[in-house]
Structure 1
Amino acid sequence: MDFLVGTFYTPKLFTLRFTPSKDISKCKLEIAHTSEAIGGHSWLSLSSDKRHLYTTVWASPPAVAAYRVEANHTLTPLNSKPVRAMSGYVCSSNTTLYSAGGPTGEVFSILSDGSIGPLLQNLEFRNQGNENDGARNGVAHGDFGGLRHGAHSVDLSPDGKALYIADIGHNCIWNYDISSDQGKLEQKQKWIASRENDGPRHTWPHPNGRILYSVQEHSCFVDTLSISETGTLDLISGARIIPKDKDEKQYWADEVRLSRPTSAQPRYLYASTRGLEKETKGYVAVFELDEQGLVQGEAIDIFETATSGGIANAIEPAPMVEGQEGVEYLAMTDSQEGFVFILGFDGKKIREVTRTQLVGEDGKALAAATAVWL
């Protein structure tokens, strides 16, 4: 089972190979390939057919980039396009690439060869003329070009007719209709988060199209939102993703994802949190879902990660392994020490299965960012 991992600052893309086994002690994780990259890639997103990879580019000037995924799972650069502010996240339909980062976002066409085409639309998330709109002072680890107090993610609805952008600084989710065949957007709603200190960072839709999950960077909650027949969002419930005795001010929540079953509906929701300081370890929480996608009570387990996670601790559930239906695997990236972990969940407990480390030619750890499964 292969997956791709990018780093925040190094122009390399890694193809990792996970070999599962019913005997966990025999599971293996190794670096299968290293591909030259256009820049540091904080976020990776595969096309629906997994033939192309789209990425953010942490560089000056900032950009987004496209790659072709080769048969051996190496990567060939296609092109890049500049964006106005550092992008935090990209996603794509068959025709369109979406990017969001800090004060602005972009909509690009995708050409027939998978490369990024012309700019179709600019998105604005600040009140015009107000550079401090949504800004926060004294942000730990820096603001990453406004990402710590601005738009941070962009996700399509399962039917491809709506798009959701989580905005940390404005404590909201921007909700858009996709208004044309080109993929242009029309704003539908600005959903304000339920707590003043939430800071929506990432969202993730349930495959039934009626539920959207939002992980709150500051409050360390994951919220379940309903999507009405007209497409508007409304809060159903919230669940804390760190232990009860921990202070959310010492953490910053990172990711929310669903398990990936071979059939039926996803059974579990996973959410990860990073420690704000190096000595504060992060967490991965798992919740049971009902058939409608509603969270059932408190976390089944909250797993303490090996490090703080740095600015990552991003999780990505793996496809189900045939013959191992009783366990779910997740890739988790760590920018602090450059580790990539495989976690396993057996329905009761999360545990580390195996790990490897990304290091440069100088022997220093590389800041692992995010993973996507091929």
Structure 2
Amino acid sequence: MASFDFVVGTFATPYLFTLRFTPASSTSNESSLKILKQHEGLGSHSWLHLSSPGTTGTQNLYATAWTEPSSLAAYAVHTPTDIKLLNTVATKSRSGYVCASGTHAYSAGGATGEVFALDFKSGAFTSSSESTEHSNDTSSTDIQPVQLLDFVDTSGQRDNGSTMDFGGLRHGAHSADLSPDGRNCIWTYSIGASKEHMKLAEKKISPRKHDGPRHVWPHPNGKFVYCLQEHSSVADVFEVVKSCNGSVRLVHKQGVRIIPQGLPVNEFWADEVRTSLSNGENPKYLYASTRGLKEGRKGFMAVYKLTPEGLIDGADIVPEDHDTAIEWRDDDQGGLLCMYETATSGGWANAVQPGPTIGDVEYIAMTDSEVGYVFVLAWDGTEIREVARTNLNEGTDTSKGKHGAATAVWLST
């Protein structure tokens, strides 16, 4: 039976882990998940982004690094067990999220964010803002961003001192993901090749007062964006409306609750939203996860059915005058296929990442920072089952602290 590998970062230790998942087969009734290798990393890597294979066939892994000072790290993934650091760049404030195109990496760090140029051949950070195809300057520790972004007022990054504040990451921008055509991201920015690399097109306020947009994910067709609201545990669907000049605005179309009815939202903080991989450019499902705010309050993962266009099948469409109906929409669970209770609260994680599909079963990696578990879940269109788990703290070097699993990226699907 074929095996599938993925990489996991942690919140509190300078390690990356390669895990190998082997699904059940005719010769083995049980799936397995094992730690293939523990790699020395730059620092605590809370978020990972894996690029498509470059000209050499090597993939690049970009990671936030909770170092002093704060930074991003670029790695070359030669094989699942051979991951090498290429170089690093400093960020103005602690980064909570990084994504990349073939030419640039984008960081979101609460009050500020950065755009860094990437070397065409190696994928390393480079100081060249004019041409990433022929740049050889990838070794300097003083590489400057192509663009620095400000997401809050002049007061700068705020940190209320609590563990939940993550050094100020809960104020300002939390994530950045590119649209499928690579031209836009939320807040929303247009992305071009001009000196002003990113230009603000729209600042989209949450549909609910006192809510907190956390992560977004685009539909592959580029027509819709899914936004996970951290405070209300609602997944919102926005239509991407493009203007004649290439800029976009987001129109709120749907909002669905991702925790069971009757449970108070103030006991949860939502974490992740992703579309399924099992149907290529027309994903069948939307996955959204929540964390329990305190240890003992288990989290949830909700699965919603998507229409071929990208709306949630069965959920109500937001009226144009949505202010009068917003409270009513918060309890909408039309289109809900399954609500899965997670094994722990998830700690800071409960992040989900869809992986390989075998037959009619889609496998999903889920990370837990409370205990250090990494799970593989199986979704067959009817129910979610845990099919394998491992603990990053068992049988590995814990001399530099407890491993709290953060996020996962699949090397093979």
Alignment match, 2:34: 30
Q: Deviations over 1:134-168 (max 9, x none)?
A: x69686x331121122211000000011122xxxx
Corresponding residue SS for 1:147? coil
1:18–1:183 CA distance, 2 compared to 1 (3 A): farther
1:92 to 77, 100, 107: 100
Deviation, 1:60, is: 1.4
Deviation, 1:296, is: 1.7
Counterparts in 2 of 1:116-131, with a 5 A limit?
A: 116-118=125-127, 119-127=145-153, 129-131=154-156
Alignment match, 1:153: 175
Alignment match, 1:189: 202
The two structures, once aligned, show a CA RMSD in angstroms of: 1.9
Counterparts in 2 of 1:1-374, with a 5 A limit?
A: 1-22=4-25, 25-49=29-53, 51-111=59-119, 112-118=121-127, 119-127=145-153, 129-131=154-156, 141-164=163-186, 174-180=187-193, 184-230=197-243, 231-297=248-314, 298=333, 299-321=336-358, 324=359, 326-359=360-393, 360-362=396-398, 365-374=402-411
Distance in 1 between the 2:210 and 2:343 partners?
A: 27
- The answer for unaligned runs of 5 or more in structure 1 is 165-173
Q: Deviations over 1:298-333 (max 9, x none)?
A: 321111101000001100000322xx2x11110000
Q: Deviations over 1:80-117 (max 9, x none)?
A: 10101110100001000000011000000001311111
1:182–1:327 CA distance, 2 compared to 1 (3 A): farther
Percent identity over the alignment? Answer: 48
Q: Deviations over 1:321-358 (max 9, x none)?
A: 2xx2x111100000000000001111111111110010
Corresponding residue SS for 1:189? coil
Corresponding residue SS for 2:378? strand
Amino acid corresponding to residue 291 of structure 1 in structure 2: P
Distance in 2 between the 1:103 and 1:206 partners?
A: 27
Distance in 2 between the 1:264 and 1:57 partners?
A: 32
Q: Contact conserved, 1:34 with 1:74, CA < 8 A, in 2?
A: no
Amino acid corresponding to residue 91 of structure 1 in structure 2: C
After the TM superposition, which parts of structure 1 deviate over 3 Å for at least 4 consecutive aligned residues? 22-25, 135-139, 362-365
Q: Contact conserved, 1:331 with 1:342, CA < 8 A, in 2?
A: yes
Q: Deviations over 1:53-101 (max 9, x none)?
A: 0000011111000000013443100111010111010000100000001
1:281–1:25 CA distance, 2 compared to 1 (3 A): farther
Corresponding residue SS for 1:191? coil
Distance in 2 between the 1:218 and 1:288 partners?
A: 23
Amino acid corresponding to residue 163 of structure 1 in structure 2: C
TM-score, normalized by length of structure 1? 0.91
Q: Contact conserved, 2:220 with 2:281, CA < 8 A, in 1?
A: no
More strand by share: 1
Q: Contact conserved, 2:159 with 2:168, CA < 8 A, in 1?
A: no
Corresponding residue SS for 1:354? strand
- The answer for unaligned runs of 5 or more in structure 2 is 128-144, 315-332
TM-score, normalized by length of structure 2? 0.83
Deviation, 1:362, is: 4.4
1:136–1:285 CA distance, 2 compared to 1 (3 A): farther
Question: Max radius of gyration: which structure?
Answer: 2
Aligned length: 358
Distance in 2 between the 1:96 and 1:180 partners?
A: 11
1:202–1:57 CA distance, 2 compared to 1 (3 A): same
Alignment match, 2:328: none
Deviation, 1:263, is: 3.7
